[in-house]
Amino acid sequence: MQSRVIEKAASLLESGACTRVLGWKAGAFFYDVTPAVFTCAQEVREQMVFNPFCGANLSKYLIAESRKEGRIAVFLKPCDTFSFVQLQKEHRIARDKVWAVGVQCRGMCDIDSLKELGLKGVTAVEEAEDDLRVTTLYQEKTISRKEALSPRCHTCKSRKLLDCDELIGDQGQDLPSSRFAQVEALEAMTPEERFAFWRGELSKCIRCNACRNVCPACSCEKCVFDNPNSGVQNKAAASSFEENLFHIIRAFHVAGRCTDCGECTRVCPQHIPLHLLNRKFIKDMNEFYGPYQAGGDFDAKPPMLAFTLDDPEASIITNGRDGQ
Amino acid sequence: MQVNETFTPTIVAFCCNWCSYAGADLSGTNRLQYPANVKIIRIPCSCRLNPMFILRAFQRGADGVILCGCHPGDCHYTTGNYYARRRMTLLFSLLDFMGIERERTRVEWVSAAEGAKFAATMNDFTQTITRLGPNRRLEDLRCKVE
């Protein structure tokens, strides 16, 4: 797959079809792959990678990149294409300046998942069908790809590549996903347990804003949290509720626009399961206002921009408890 | 020395300018009683209510927050309260999901003619909050006024 992606990127640049390519390159280690823009074919051949650690969703970068001169080619995995469509719906991406290449994905891996398997000092990971050949400082081991998947990829919702100009690999299908299982498990707890869970998770927050910066839906040019008068900048002076407030507002701002790509949880340095907040909103909207997948198509009306005369009242909320 | 330990809650009521605020007025001119610890904040329309307002009210010492607006279909701006209804349903559901007592938040539709309903709602809501006790989960020590 890597060679096909690199060859495609190089040929797009060499033929002059695009002036830039948005892809991935290795960071300090082979597993901390980072998004990168390439401008010549030589650069692509030397630096570009497409390996099981290319989890980063590139669609957000198109907001800025599609405004520059010349056409940019971009490589999108199925979940990235949902964000791509959603951003087009919001008129954030100039579609005619983008050449979208869909890359089929079998789930991205996570170095933390490898570490949990007891593999330390990993120096290389090679793909082999459904297995991964992992080389560490101490041993060589073959593990199944499933074991090394990043948590979000265990509940993959779809392998459809939406709105791409060409595909590498096959077109995929929607998958039966149990992605709301964790939300339901939390709903089944008592309010005290839920409060303890979220206080435990969110008090780890260091307010690095990585979740905000990486989120394709969270892309306002001016952010409420950058306003010095908002009073939410200063972590040191914050007491316990402050992190909850930040994350409630962050999740609320993307309600109805979040495609559930899971980037927020992936980038969180404190491993807070932030996607659960977004998923709760998605689950509620599906239940209250009918099924909706943000970025799923160009026509469906987002639930937060619509209403019906007989919407349920706020008193409907029971979260698993019997009505009061 | 005896310390008075009776809990008197602070309640913030966001009332829309066109219906509920007038409804509150009417309950006053009718001399209907509702608890003095209800602090009314007038907003142009129920859909003006930013979720930050609610969270900030809680942070700064409110024990309960209630949103009052025109009945669905009667909004002065035609559709504002329909949007407010969706937003508040989702927000309150998330607050509940995070373990904040569901009873501390409420949405009630009160028209300008319903002074009695306004007073009854506020009485009922104040009783609910008094029973729940002080809000400890959402408060923010920075905002505490000693």
Give tens-digit pLDDT for B21-55: 999 999 999 999 999 999 999 999 999 999 989 98
Of the candidates A267, A289, A265, A269, the residue with the CA atom closest to the CA atom of residue A279: A265
Angle A191-202/A241-253 helices, nearest 10 degrees?
90
DSSP notation for A302-316: PGGG---TTPPPGGG
pTM, to two decimals: 0.90
Contact at CB, A248 and B98, closer than 8 angstroms: yes
DSSP conformation class of A140:
E
Least confident segment among A219-228, A298-307, B124-133: A219-228
d(CA A295, CA A283): 16
pLDDT band at A324 (very low <50, low <70, confident <90, very high): very low
Is the Cα dihedral B52, B56, B58, B59 positive or negative? positive
Instruction: For residue A230, give the chain B residue with the closest CA.
Output: B52
pLDDT band at A97 (very low <50, low <70, confident <90, very high): very high
What domains can you pick out in chain B, each with its CATH number? 11-133 (3.40.50)
Contact at CB, A311 and B51, closer than 8 angstroms: no
Of the candidates A284, A281, A280, A277, the residue with the CA atom closest to the CA atom of residue A245: A277
**Which of B60, B94, B141 to mutate against chain A (most A CBs within 10 Å)?**
B94
Given a contact cutoff of 8 angstroms between Cβ atoms, the answer to whether A284 and B59 are in contact is no
Average confidence (pLDDT) over B122-136: 91
Of the candidates A146, A120, A149, the residue with the CA atom closest to the CA atom of residue A134: A120
Chain A neighbors of B58, CB-CB under 8 A = 241
| Token code pair at residue B93 | 């559901």
Given a contact cutoff of 8 angstroms between Cβ atoms, the answer to whether B34 and B110 are in contact is no
Contact at CB, B89 and A314, closer than 8 angstroms: yes
d(CA B84, CA B67): 9
Give tens-digit pLDDT for A264-298: 999 999 999 999 999 999 999 999 999 999 998 89
- Please give the share of chain A, as a percent, with pLDDT higher than 90: 54
Given a contact cutoff of 8 angstroms between Cβ atoms, the answer to whether A110 and A122 are in contact is no
Give tens-digit pLDDT for B73-98: 999 999 999 999 999 999 999 999 99
Distance from CA of B96 to the nearest CA of A (A): 7
Domain ranges of chain A: 2-110+157-168, 111-148, 181-316
| Token code pair at residue B49 | 């209510």
Please count the other Cβ atoms lying within 10 Å of the Cβ belonging to residue A294.
Answer: 24
Q: Could you tell me how far CA A202 lies from the centroid of its own chain?
A: 20
Element (H, E) at B54: helix B51-59
Give tens-digit pLDDT for A125-181: 888 878 888 888 888 889 888 888 998 999 999 999 999 999 998 898 888 888 999
